[in-house]
Amino acid sequence: MNTQFFRTVRLAIKSLLLHKLRSGLTMLGIVFGVFSVIAMLAIGEGASSQAQRQVLELGATNIIVRSVKPPDDGENTASSSNSRVLRYGLLEKDYRLLTAIPTITQTTPMREIVKQARYQHRQLNVRIVGCTPEYLTINHLNMAPGGRFLTGHDLDSLENVCVVGSQAAAVLFPYEDPLGKIVQLENQAYQVIGVTNERTASAAIGGSMSGQDYNKDVYIPLTTMKVRFGILNVQRSAGSFSAEQIELSQVTLQVASKEDVISTAEVVRESVERNHPRSKDYAVVVPLELLKQADQIRYIFNFVLGSIAAISLIVGGIGIMNIMLATVTERTREIGIRRALGAKRSDIINQFLTETIVLSGTGGLVGIFLGLMTPVAFTGLKFAVNQFVLSGSSGTSDISRIFLEMQPQVAIWSLPIAFGISVAIGVIFGVYPARSAARLDPIEALRHE
Query: pLDDT band for position 25 (50/70/90)?
Result: confident
Query: pLDDT band for position 300 (50/70/90)?
Result: confident
| DSSP three-state, residue 250 | strand
Residue 78 predicted with pLDDT over 60: no
Residue 260 predicted with pLDDT over 60: yes
- The predicted-structure confidence for 158-215, as pLDDT tens digits, reads as follows 999 999 999 999 999 998 999 999 999 988 999 999 999 988 766 555 545 566 778 8
- Single pTM value for the model: 0.61
Nearest Cα to 135, choosing from 159, 108, 161? 108
What is the predicted pLDDT for the residue at 57?
65
Query: pLDDT band for position 131 (50/70/90)?
Result: very high
C-alpha angle with apex 202: 199 to 203, nearest 5 degrees? 155
What is the predicted pLDDT for the residue at 10?
80
What number is the average pLDDT over the span 367-380?
A: 86
| 215-to-126, 171, 235, 251 alpha-carbon distances in Å | 9, 11, 24, 21
How many other CB atoms are found less than 10 A from the CB of residue 180? 10
Q: Which residues pair with 234 in a beta bridge?
A: 243
C-alpha angle with apex 97: 94 to 98, nearest 5 degrees? 90
Residue 155 predicted with pLDDT over 90: yes
| DSSP three-state, residue 188 | strand
Q: Which residues pair with 161 in a beta bridge?
A: 191
Bridge pairing between strands 182-185 and 188-195: antiparallel
Please state the separation of Cα 140 from the chain's center in Å.
Answer: 18
8 Å CB contact between 28 and 317: no
Handedness of CA 246, 142, 158, 236 (dihedral sign): negative
Residue 395 predicted with pLDDT over 70: no
- Determine the Cα–Cα distance for residues 110 and 94; give it in Å rounded to an integer: 13
Q: What is the C-alpha end-to-end distance of the chain, expressed in Å?
A: 34
| DSSP three-state, residue 207 | coil
- The predicted-structure confidence for 81-125, as pLDDT tens digits, reads as follows 444 778 888 888 989 989 888 988 888 999 999 889 999 899 999
| DSSP three-state, residue 405 | helix
- Determine the Cα–Cα distance for residues 335 and 338; give it in Å rounded to an integer: 5
In terms of pLDDT, which residue wins out, 377 or 71? Answer: 377
C-alpha angle with apex 132: 230 to 114, nearest 5 degrees? 45
8 Å CB contact between 168 and 215: yes
Question: Which DSSP symbol is given to 397?
Answer: -
- Determine the Cα–Cα distance for residues 368 and 441; give it in Å rounded to an integer: 41
What is the predicted pLDDT for the residue at 390?
55
What is the predicted pLDDT for the residue at 180?
93
What is the predicted pLDDT for the residue at 383?
75
Residue 269 predicted with pLDDT over 80: yes
What is the predicted pLDDT for the residue at 73?
53
Q: Exposed e or buried b for every residue in 319-348, given b needs 16+ CB within 10 A?
A: bbbebbeebbeebbebbbebbeeebeeeeb
| Phi, psi angle pair for 213, to nearest 5° | -105, 95
How many other CB atoms are found less than 10 A from the CB of residue 434? 22
Nearest Cα to 63, choosing from 327, 271, 264? 264
What number is the average pLDDT over the span 326-352?
A: 78
What is the predicted pLDDT for the residue at 81?
41
Bridge pairing between strands 232-237 and 240-245: antiparallel
- Determine the Cα–Cα distance for residues 110 and 128; give it in Å rounded to an integer: 10
- Determine the Cα–Cα distance for residues 232 and 221; give it in Å rounded to an integer: 17
| Phi, psi angle pair for 428, to nearest 5° | -60, -45
8 Å CB contact between 377 and 44: no
Bridge pairing between strands 83-87 and 240-245: parallel
Average pLDDT, the chain: 80
For 121-187, list the strands marked E by DSSP: 122-131, 161-164, 182-185
In terms of pLDDT, which residue wins out, 293 or 189? Answer: 189
CA atoms within 13 A on the CB side of 312: 22
